[in-house]
């Protein structure tokens, strides 16, 4: 091969390599630009309340399943039996056929995720094309997604701010700042966006457990403020004495823990019934043991109430164990029924934020 031919071959090969690298660079840049453009479109869909565009990028099944899984687990960790019972009522028969507790939980989560998916689909497809209307429907669908519906308890959410996507690689988080109208606090939701295949998808909520804990703290503070004047009235009605606790053995296999308690009627009306909340000082009122006292207790008079709990009995051992640590006990009136001119008047603390919201709805 002549020198000129060799030079020609080398030149063609070099030119081909340069063109190939240039083509790859242009392809890569185009892919990156397309990827970043898609990411910006997701951000814009939130800002513009564009339900149609958001529906294209939304992995509804992934979002609703994650929210259902983590939400149910969080409520279970909080021992929030009332909220879990409310969820079961939303999907009756979901646990039918489950063979054990783990299978029942999985069945519940699956049913709740399916219900949440239907709500989101309806919010994205129904209503008018007005952006404000779409925003209202999307936020209502989010707050109505099980189990968020029982956690938010009917609160109204408003979109305050959409932040820029954070993170690198295939996973980003778009922060949405919402305003809870009833609690009057900002709630930041991290929208998890994942790049899979040829496009980005909204695939979950980042830091959901932290968001739920923040919401729960705000709800508890709101509940304390709402209950404060009611507690004052309850304390004006009755005085609760110091509990007298004793153990009584019944043979070798049973021991009862007995509690006697003096209750004085401080008011001017007859007390028909009292519900007392018994708990450890470190526990919240949501999980207190409720003790009932029957009336009547005439004005200015007192009664001695007495309860007995089997130390090993199913359903009573926890209470018996609490009574064995009297220095850590807390007793307070939760509900009092008085006879007001022949009509029953009930003074009752709100047991949970959900109960407070139901009263105000």
Q: Which residues of the chain have pLDDT under 50?
A: 3-34
List the chain domain ranges: 24-206, 223-360
What are 52-80's pLDDT values in tens digits? 667 777 888 999 999 999 999 999 998 88
Do 232 and 93 form a contact (C-beta atoms < 8 A)?
no
pLDDT at residue 148, rounded to an integer: 94
Cα(318)–Cα(339) distance, rounded to whole angstroms? Answer: 34
Cα(279)–Cα(330) distance, rounded to whole angstroms? Answer: 5
pLDDT at residue 119, rounded to an integer: 86
What are 310-353's pLDDT values in tens digits? 877 766 778 888 888 888 888 999 999 999 888 899 999 998 89
pLDDT at residue 71, rounded to an integer: 94
- Nearest CA to 349 out of 305, 296, 273, 286 is that of 286
pLDDT at residue 297, rounded to an integer: 96
What are 75-104's pLDDT values in tens digits? 999 888 889 999 999 998 888 878 888 999
Q: Is the pTM of this model over 0.85?
A: no
What is the CATH topology of the domain spanning 223-360?
Immunoglobulin-like (2.60.40)
What residues form DSSP beta bridges with 218?
none
């Amino acid at each position: 091969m002549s020198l000129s031919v060799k030079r020609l071959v080398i030149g063609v090969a070099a030119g081909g390599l340069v063109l190939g690298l240039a083509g790859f660079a242009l392809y890569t840049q185009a892919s990156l630009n397309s990827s970043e453009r898609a990411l910006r479109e997701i951000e814009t869909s939130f800002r513009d309340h564009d339900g149609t565009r958001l529906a294209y990028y939304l992995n509804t099944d992934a979002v609703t399943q994650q929210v259902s899984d983590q939400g149910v687990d969080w409520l279970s960790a909080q021992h929030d039996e009332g909220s879990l019972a409310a969820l079961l009522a939303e999907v009756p028969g979901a646990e039918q056929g489950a063979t054990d507790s783990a299978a029942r939980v999985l069945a519940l989560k699956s049913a709740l995720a399916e219900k949440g998916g239907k709500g989101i689909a309806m919010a994205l497809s129904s209503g008018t094309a007005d952006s404000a209307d779409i925003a209202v429907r999307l936020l209502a669908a989010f707050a109505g997604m099980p189990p968020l519906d029982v956690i938010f308890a009917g609160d109204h959410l408003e979109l305050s701010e959409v932040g820029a996507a954070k993170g690198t690689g295939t996973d980003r988080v778009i922060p949405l700042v919402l305003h809870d109208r009833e609690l009057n606090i900002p709630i930041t939701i991290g929208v998890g966006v994942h790049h899979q295949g040829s496009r980005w998808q909204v695939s979950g909520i980042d830091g959901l457990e932290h968001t739920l804990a923040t919401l729960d703290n705000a709800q508890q503070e709101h509940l304390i403020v709402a209950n404060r004047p009611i507690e004052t009235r309850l304390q004006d009605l009755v005085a609760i004495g110091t509990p007298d606790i004793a153990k009584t053995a019944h043979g070798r296999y049973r021991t009862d823990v007995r509690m006697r308690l003096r209750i004085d009627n401080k008011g001017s009306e007859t007390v028909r019934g009292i519900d007392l909340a018994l708990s450890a000082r470190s526990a919240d009122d949501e999980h207190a043991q409720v003790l009932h006292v029957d009336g009547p207790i005439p004005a200015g008079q007192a009664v001695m109430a007495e309860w007995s709990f089997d130390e090993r009995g199913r359903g009573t051992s926890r209470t018996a164990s609490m009574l064995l640590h009297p220095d850590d006990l807390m007793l307070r009136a939760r509900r009092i029924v008085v006879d007001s001119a022949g009509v029953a008047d009930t003074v009752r603390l709100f047991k949970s934020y959900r109960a407070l919201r139901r009263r105000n709805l």
